[in-house]
């Protein structure tokens, strides 16, 4: 993460500017900052019209400190305060310990819309207590590409109708608490095999497939009244040509606004992702996304204070040069004002989220074979590189199998014979995460199972690669709740 520099925060970067125009430009930005306290420059920017902030795991020390942080932010203005709290693998509130809620793949496996609504309602109350008013969730992508490197367990599944009904339940659950949903990633990121954090992925489908598959959950979410929708940095040749949807008026204005009739807030995915920052740049991406139809620009965690000022100036210059109509900024400001007016208007009494999270995780677990009683268990956790969307969130069985010996290994560096020797005359449990995406993990696990066919394999990602094992457990996610639910089965 780049460090923010506020050394020039007191200097005027706006001399000679129209302050009204500068305020309109600032109002489209969701900035980020390091640390668990609000720096002076972010407070000044909020006073000067900054649209809001996006918080990340590094901003969260505890629920109490986060509530104090958001209260300080609100003292400087009326900001949109957003973060990504999907439950499951993608969590910011529980970034340092893992989420108490299973993610979408687990909820889709259960396929109980009332359970999904209850989980998202509990997430909403957690956010509300911490002062967050916009949740960049749920993920409405239809995950049809099994090797999708960025969606996976974040999706409710591969069936558009299932994804649609659970997206609606998630939107309704969140918004019952007064926290706005932000359904993502429009017009669909589930059929990609590239990560938009690193490049521009392509969804090469016909318009008919796009309408009936990718767009079905978004159409349902619009019908359910979602307050915001997030763009995808994906190109859809039949719709956007060579441009990513985030920068495409065909996607955001003609399709989303026109054909689908959506008039809520459109939020860009993070502009510091390589699909944007390394193609048209931060300032160029901001101008093009606003022109295409975005209302709020998520800048991501990387831009420095100076870069945020440059993005703001790029927007002002585009208006002055006639490349961006000022009416587009005014339209965005009006939509965001409506969103602010809505915040907190539909609250119910909170429920115990920890209980519903574990209940959902337990219902999602699938077991093949019969687990034998554990004897001095030896657990091998196969290390899996974190994705940029998930970050370095803890996962695994350490909190839930206190009597087991647990070791985490990199599959291409591990000494299988030595590990098997340590596991002799003991229960062997092999834990993987999305093994279908990593050939080295498959080879390593297969080598262990050749010697120990009595072993138990626990898959904490999508259960696509299923090796022959005495017992196979699928959790549909690696959240803390998923691990606890699986550990309970192992020790029953």
Catalytically annotated residues? 197, 269
Burial environment of residue 370 by CB neighbours within 10 A (0 to 12, 13 to 18, 19 or more): exposed
Q: Token match 């809001």: residue?
A: 52
CA angle, corner 90, sides to 92 and 345, nearest 5?
A: 60
List, in sequence order, every residue forming a beta bridge with 184; answer none if it has no partner.
139
- Which residue spans within 13-135 are E strands per DSSP? 29-31, 52-55, 80-83, 134-135
Ramachandran angles phi, psi of 313, nearest 5°: -65, -35
* Residues in contact with 356: Cβ distance below 8 Å, sequence separation at least 6, in sequence order: 101, 115, 118, 119, 122
Residues constituting the chain: 492
C-alpha dihedral over 29, 199, 157, 54, to 10 degrees?
Answer: -20
Cβ-proximal residues to 128 (8 Å cutoff; 6+ apart), any chain: 177, 178, 179, 344, 347, 350
Contact 118/167 with Cβ under 8 angstroms? no
> Which residue's structure tokens are 């696509």?
464
- C-alpha dist (Å) from residue 34 to 37, 67, 95, 197: 8, 16, 15, 20
From edge to edge, which strands make up the β-sheet containing 471-474? 366-369, 471-474, 456-459, 428-432, 378-382, 405-409
Task: Kindly report whether the peptide bond that precedes residue 143 is cis, defined as omega within 30 degrees of 0.
Answer: no
d(CA 471, CA 466): 11
The two counts, helices (H) then strands (E), for the chain are 18, 14
At 336 the three-state DSSP class reads: helix
Q: What is the CA radius of gyration of the chain?
A: 23
CB 190 within 8 Å of CB 196? no
Q: What is the DSSP letter of 202?
A: B
């Amino acid at each position: 993460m780049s460090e923010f520099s506020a050394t020039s925060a007191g200097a005027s970067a706006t001399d000679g500017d129209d302050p009204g125009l500068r305020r309109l430009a600032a109002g489209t930005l969701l900035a980020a900052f390091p640390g668990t306290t609000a720096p002076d420059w972010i407070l000044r920017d909020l006073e000067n019209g900054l649209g809001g902030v996006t918080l990340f795991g590094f901003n969260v020390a505890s629920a109490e400190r986060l509530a104090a942080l958001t209260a300080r932010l609100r003292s400087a203005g009326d900001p949109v305060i957003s973060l990504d709290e999907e439950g499951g693998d993608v969590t910011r509130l529980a970034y340092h310990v893992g989420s108490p809620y299973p993610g979408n793949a687990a909820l889709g496996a259960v396929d109980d819309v009332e359970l999904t609504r209850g989980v998202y309602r509990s997430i909403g109350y957690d956010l509300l207590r911490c002062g967050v008013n916009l949740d960049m969730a749920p993920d409405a992508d239809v995950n049809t590409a099994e090797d999708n490197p960025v969606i996976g367990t974040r999706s409710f599944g591969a069936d558009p109708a299932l994804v649609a009904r659970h997206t609606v339940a998630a939107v309704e659950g969140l918004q019952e608490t007064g926290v706005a949903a932000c359904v993502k990633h429009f017009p669909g990121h589930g059929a990609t095999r590239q990560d938009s954090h690193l490049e521009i992925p392509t969804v090469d489908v016909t318009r008919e497939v796009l309408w009936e598959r990718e767009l079905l959950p978004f159409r349902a979410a619009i019908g359910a009244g979602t307050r915001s929708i997030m763009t995808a940095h994906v190109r859809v040749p039949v719709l956007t040509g060579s441009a990513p949807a985030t920068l495409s008026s065909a996607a955001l204005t003609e399709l989303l606004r026109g054909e689908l009739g959506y008039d809520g807030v459109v939020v860009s995915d993070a502009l510091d992702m390589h699909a944007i920052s390394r193609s048209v740049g931060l300032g160029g991406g901001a101008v093009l996304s606003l022109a295409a139809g975005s209302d709020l620009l998520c800048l991501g965690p990387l831009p420095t204070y100076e870069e945020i000022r440059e993005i703001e100036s790029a927007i002002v210059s585009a208006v002055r040069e006639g490349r961006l109509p000022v009416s587009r900024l005014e339209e965005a400001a009006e939509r965001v004002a409506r969103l602010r007016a809505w915040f907190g208007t539909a609250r119910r009494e909170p429920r115990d989220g920890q209980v519903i999270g574990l209940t959902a995780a337990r219902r999602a677990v699938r077991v093949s074979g019969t687990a034998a009683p554990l004897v001095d268990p030896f657990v091998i956790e196969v290390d899996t590189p974190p994705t940029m969307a998930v970050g370095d969130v803890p996962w695994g069985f350490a909190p839930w199998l206190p009597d087991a010996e647990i070791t985490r290994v990199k599959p291409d560096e591990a000494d299988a014979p030595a590990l098997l020797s340590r596991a002799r005359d003991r229960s062997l449990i092999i834990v993987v995460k999305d093994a279908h995406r990593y050939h080295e993990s498959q080879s390593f696990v297969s080598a262990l199972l050749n010697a120990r066919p009595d072993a138990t394999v626990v898959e904490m990602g999508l259960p696509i690669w299923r090796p022959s094992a005495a017992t196979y457990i699928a959790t549909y996610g690696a959240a803390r709740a998923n691990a606890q639910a699986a550990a309970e089965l192992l020790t029953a």
